[in-house]
Amino acid sequence: MRLFNSLTLTFLASTLISASAQTATPAAAERTNAAIIPVPRDQEGPRKRFEELNRRVEAARGDVDVLFLGDSITQGWEGSGKEVWQEFYGPRKAVNIGIGGDRTQHVLWRLENGNINGIKPKVTVLMIGTNNSNRDDHTPGEILEGVTAIVRKLRASLPDTKILLVAIFPRGATFSDQRGKILQVNQALAKLDDGKSVFFIDFGHKLIEADGSISKSVMPDFLHLSPAGYRIWAESIEPKLAQFLGGK
């Protein structure tokens, strides 16, 4: 009898430990996707840029046809891309609200805190997500959720605005795991194209060489565009913009 009780207790203890381990494992593995949680940037530079953009949008008084939304690559239209911007978008009612260093969560916060108040652009050109791809900060699935959340927010806030969703650009001197992550995200983002309100466009192949490398003439630091890179961007989206806005 003592042996039976001992064996029974041992079996029960083992069963409980096993059940506890199985219950705890999924909980321990759960991870909150920060890419979909709106959060502001605390640094002085991004904060001042955000405030400036709110003033820029307010000054436009709703007279905006094209809105460019994104991170430093979008903000760069005011730097390396300024001459191309003037050529393609100067004659149009275009506003740039890109902020260097932004991730999807930061854009989500900006959209809730003034960056699109009072405007109803005909088209929003969105390109975001490369900063989420750094290191192991976010998985491809998490980045996809972040970009998708922005698209949904834009659709809810600007229901009459068409979204030109630009694929995240390739980056780095040559092939890398990070490029692979970005490619996986882009493949899934293409599914957001509904042919009515959201239009996906991917011209990343124009930014790389035949051997997969990126030329410094297009991306001097293998991330941000040169004037030639911005011309590739402008010429690649021009047919769609002309379709949405009428004329070239």
Active site amino acids: 72, 221, 224
Q: Which residues pair with 98 in a beta bridge?
A: 70
Token pair recorded at residue 109: 């916060």
Q: Which three-class secondary structure string do you get for 176-214?
A: CHHHHHHHHHHHHHHHHCCCCCEEEECCHHHHCCCCCCC
Cα 118 from Cα 226, distance rounded (Å): 33
Q: DSSP states of 12-69 as a string?
A: HHHHHHHHHHHHHHHHHH----GGGS-----SHHHHHHHHHHHHHHHHHTT--SEEEE
Contact residues for 190 (Cβ-Cβ < 8 A; gap 6+): 167, 200, 202
Cα 153 from Cα 46, distance rounded (Å): 21
List the helix and strand counts (H, then E) for the chain. Answer: 8, 5
